[in-house]
Amino acid sequence: MSSAPENKSSKGQSIAFRLIGAAGLWVAVMLIVGGLLLSNLFRGPLEQSFDQRMEFLLESLIGAVEVGHNRELFQRQSLGEPRFLRQYSGWYWQITRIDNGDVIARSRSMWDFELAISEDTKTGALLKSRARGPLGQRLQLIEKPITVDGMDGTYLFSVAADRQDLVDTIDSFNVTLGWSLGVLWAGLVLAVFIQVRFGLLPLQRIRQSLADIREGRSERLTGSFPKEVSPLAEELNGLLDHTTEVLGRARSHVGNLAHALKTPLAVLSNESETPTENISTIVDEQTQLMRRHVDHHLARARAMGQAPLLRGQTPLLPVLEAVARTLEKIYAHEGVSISVKAPPELAFRGEQHDLEEMLGNLVDNACKWARREVALVAESYSETGSGGLQIQLQIDDDGPGVPEEKREEIFGRGERADESTPGSGLGLSIVRDIATLYGGDVSLGDAPEGGLRATLILPGGLIPADAV
């Protein structure tokens, strides 16, 4: 029931769809803006040329008219525009006497049609307006009142032209421009589509490689990837390596546990077949041995399973202080004091529970052997090569210490430096397991006070100043 919505949601979140859609929308907006600018750039000069043509014809008309012997105006020369001679061509001129409205002369193209004169007839002023032609044409009208020498009154010289040819030319250009920009938009979107598909090919390769890994045809992501995708491939390979390591350790722990339980079970089996007087003691010893083995492997499995790849940051100082306060109360009857020294901005790149597990075991071990004091000191340094920040934790006690030849032995499972001291002997082994899973280490050395120094190396980081 829920698979269909999930698939629909995943398709809606397609990176390719978003990239192509965003690019297509942006290109469309830019082409529309560019188209409007081009249209206006084309329209402006065309209309300006049209107006200049009409003004030229008006001045030509004024210059071509003379006063005859009978004191009448006549056109002494042609204006050079053949459309003034063709009936209802859309190009007209007219000379009107303003005081009585009589038409003195007009172009042959007007036939019996007369242009309405403007109300504003200030002498010398160039008047522009719109009018209707004899066939309903939308005319652009340009007029100029003139006082003619030798004639009484003022005369209005008018030139009119049909704007339809101008409008048709502009519309034709806009249609051609629109088709051209549409084809250009389609070509650009196609180019973006090809570019996006080509750019996402490495992700398709990663997807195919993961499918091969799932089907058992491969174990890791192989091949070269672009530098933008290479970190993702490396992290995925790290995840696969971690999974393989976890599975290997799990199999190893199961085998080790089975092997460890084999001998105690054999002893118990023998005792059940041929009981002896001290059977209860033998059963108790073997039961305790099996319990230690089980505790050891459970602790190791828990540490292994909780070691994360995607690690957060755990502030170091609060955990150190909390562990110190807890164990100081537990060992208060022995007069052991615990001091803590660590930079407040220092953090452990890992889970708080794992840090508490490691510190609890190390500090508890130090308190068991300390006479009076245990010191916890933390500092950071940059690891050579990787440049990553590392934490060095030193836990010192003023106890008797451990001989150098026995220090490595006590990291073995169930091993204790002194069998008379309470404990399972699993603590330091678990600490090493957890530290190793985080890429760190733990070692033992001599403390300045003569006791034992446990040095724990872990991956570190810095807390932002405003979060400290």
- DSSP letters spanning 416-462: -S-TTSSS-S-HHHHHHHHHHHTT-EEEEEE-TTSSEEEEEEEEEEE
Which amino acid is present at 28? A
Q: What is the mean pLDDT of residues 64-72?
A: 69
- pLDDT (mean) for 311-334: 90
- Tell me the mean pLDDT in the region 205-220: 83
- pTM of the full structure: 0.52
- Please tell me which residue, 246 or 253, carries the higher pLDDT value: 246
Q: How confident is the model at residue 122 (pLDDT cuts 50, 70, 90)?
A: low
Q: Name the token pair of 297.
A: 């492997």
**pLDDT tens, residue by residue, 258-274:** 666 766 777 677 667 66
In this prediction, residue 423 carries a pLDDT of 41
Average pLDDT over residues 18-29: 91
pLDDT tens digit sequence for 284-312: 777 776 776 676 666 666 655 555 544 57
Describe the crossing of helices 164-199 and 201-214 by its angle, rounded to 10 degrees: 30
Q: What is the C-alpha separation between 92 and 83, in angstroms, rounded?
A: 8
What does the pLDDT average to over 338-362? 91
Judged by average pLDDT, the poorest of 74-83, 169-178, 419-428 is: 419-428
Distance CA 168, CA 183 (A): 23
Give mean pLDDT, residues 49-77. 78
Burial of 28 (0-12, 13-18, 19+ CB in 10 A): middle
Average pLDDT over residues 52-66: 85
Strands (E), 322-451: 337-341, 346-348, 373-382, 389-397, 441-446
In this model, does residue 369 exceed pLDDT 80? yes
Band the pLDDT of 192: cuts 50, 70, 90: very high
Number of H helices, E strands in the chain: 10, 14
Identify the CATH number of the domain defined by range 312-467: 3.30.565.10
Whole-angstrom Cα distance, residue 409 to residue 253? 20
pLDDT of residue 306: 55
Does the pLDDT value for residue 395 go beyond 90?
A: yes
pLDDT over 70, % of the chain: 79
Residue 426, pLDDT above cutoff 60: no
pLDDT at 189: 93
pLDDT at 373: 93
Strands (DSSP E) contained in 22-63 are none
Which residue stretches of 200-229 are H helix? 201-214
Whether the per-residue pLDDT at 20 is higher than 50: the answer is yes
Chain segment 153-164, per-residue pLDDT in tens: 788 889 999 888
Provide the pLDDT for residue 255.
66
Task: State the burial class of residue 187 (Cβ atoms within 10 Å of its Cβ: 0-12, 13-18, 19+).
Answer: exposed
Please state the domain extents for the chain.
230-305, 312-467
> In this predicted structure, what is the pLDDT of residue 2?
44
Report whether pLDDT(72) > 70. no
CA dihedral for 325, 396, 405, 438, sign (positive or negative): positive
* Contact call for residues 300 and 448 (beta carbons, < 8 A): no
pLDDT score for 181 = 95
Q: Is 33 left (phi over 0), alpha (psi -120 to 50) or beta?
A: alpha
Q: What is the mean pLDDT of the chain?
A: 81
Lowest mean pLDDT among 92-96, 231-235, 452-456: 231-235
Q: Say if residues 398 and 449 touch (Cβ distance below 8 Å).
A: yes
- The CA-CA-CA angle for residues 93, 96, 98, to 5°, reads 145
When computed from its CA atoms, the radius of gyration of the chain, rounded to whole angstroms, is 49
